[in-house]
Amino acid sequence: MNINFIISIIAIFFAFIIPSVSYKIFFSSNNPFANKEKNIKSFFLPFIITVTIISSAVYPFVFDKYDFLHQFNFIEMIIPFLLGILLFLCNKNSHISKYFPIFLSFASLACSFAIPTETISAILPIPALCTRLIVFAACFLFSYLYRYTNLGGATLGTQSATIALGISVLGLIGAIPSFLGLLGMIICAACFSIMVATYPPANKSISDNDASCLGFIIFALLLWTAGEQAASCAAIFTLYFITDFIWALALRLTFIEQYSDIKENTSYRQALAQGISPQVATSFLCRAQILIIIFGSFQAYNSQPHSLLLISALVSIWLTFKMRNLSENNKTIKDLNKEVLEDLQARINSIKQYSNKEEDNQ
């Protein structure tokens, strides 16, 4: 049996076990330091420490530089992990945690300039400095907005695990270097431990800043994947999160009072508001993400770089609508589509009524 395969299996196993045991200890009633505030602020620590140590340990044995199209080395891999630890330390300190967005922006800038020029040039066919600035902005926005996947009910762990799983699948089918696929699986296993620890009916919460720290690591993984000419696949894996956030933001921008909270406008929270149990909503989210992974994996074999990206975007929009109209009972596709159209019409009418009210007031 290939020694690399054995090392990979061991690494994945411990990437799940170590955070899982840590969370079990953190939330144990026998832990004298177990209190809600401490647990919320410490949730990211077992994840990032585990991923950093295990990724560093397997690097000398599994890494093959000839498997990469562009330059990739240990320094490029470790920098985002170390920056993630620094972000955690900033968040842990109550005196400076309010400046977290500033620290996140510096970390995003450092991450963008840590990428070799050769890799940067492969991401976008524009001057390297312009690409770095775009990567910086994308890293900051993705990481900061990733808190909108932190909705309770294991949504954060589910979203993160499925993105990392999609990238690991790309490694298995040879679309990206196998080492990147292994990194994806290690991060997926660690995210899965978060998903298990917070899965309903477990009443465990994670701070939004911790969610942004996790988003920072996920973005680094996506960036490495994009540098190996799999940018469209990486984009597809994030579509559900992006489309759901854009829809929630669009509702917020109507300035209607009932849509004043972006998190409450997300499809998961809308499903809960309609009486759907967290277990059912989280289960649907898992199935939706698996469908997105399938589309992203097929994109790797598509000669047209963006053809499936458009289709996947439409599917993601439909899935978010379906989540908003989720039911405990099984319904036909025709019934679901009818409910989606009726819900869309109701929201349009609500916006029209609000606009007319504003005009009357003027």
Q: Where are the alpha helices (DSSP H) in 199-238?
A: 208-225, 231-237
What is the 3-state secondary structure of 36-73?
A: HHHHHHHCHHHHHHHHHHHHHHHHHHHCCHHHCCCCCC
Domain coverage including residue 64: 1-229
SS (H, E, C) 189-209: HHHHHHHHHHCCCCCCCCCHH
Same domain, 259 and 305: yes
Count of domains forming the chain:
2
Mean pLDDT, contiguous 10-residue spans, the chain (362 residues): 85 95 76 48 85 95 86 89 92 83 94 83 80 92 93 88 94 91 96 89 81 94 89 92 93 87 90 87 88 89 78 89 73 56 63 58 60
Domain end, chosen from 176, 209, 229, is at: 229
Claim to verify: residue 216 and residue 269 sit in the same structural domain: no
| Torsion of Cα atoms, 206 then 208 then 213 then 216, to 10° | 130
pTM: 0.86
Residue 37: closest CA among 92, 100, 84: 92
The 3-state DSSP class for residue 273 equals helix
Domain boundary at 187, 210, 229, which? Answer: 229
Domain boundary among 210, 229, 248: 229
Same-domain check for residues 121 and 183: yes
If asked whether residues 95 and 222 sit together in one domain, one would say: yes
**Do 243 and 351 share a structural domain?**
yes
CA-CA-CA-CA torsion for 118, 233, 221, 143, nearest 10 degrees? 110
- Look at residue 244 in the predicted model and tell me its pLDDT: 93
Same domain, 139 and 208: yes
Instruction: For 149-198, write each residue's pLDDT tens digit.
Output: 998 878 999 999 999 999 999 999 988 999 999 999 999 999 999 998 88
Q: Which two tokens stand for residue 74?
A: 């240990």
**Alpha-carbon distance 212 to 193, whole Å?**
17
Residues 204, 281 within the same domain: no
* pLDDT computed for residue 147 by the predictor: 92
For 300-317, the pLDDT digits (tens) are 887 776 778 888 898 899
Give residue 180's pLDDT: 94
Q: Which whole-number Å values give the CA distances from 48 to 19, 83, 217, 238, 301, in the listed order?
A: 9, 10, 9, 21, 32
Write out the two tokens for 229: 């000419």
Are 178 and 39 part of one and the same domain?
A: yes
Residues 198 and 247 placed together within one structural domain of the fold:
no
Residues 274 and 356 in one domain: yes
Closest Cα partner for 68 from 217, 163, 175? 175
34's tokens: 């177990």
Same domain? 223 vs 267: no
**251 shares a domain with 210:** no
> Distance between terminal CA atoms of the chain?
77
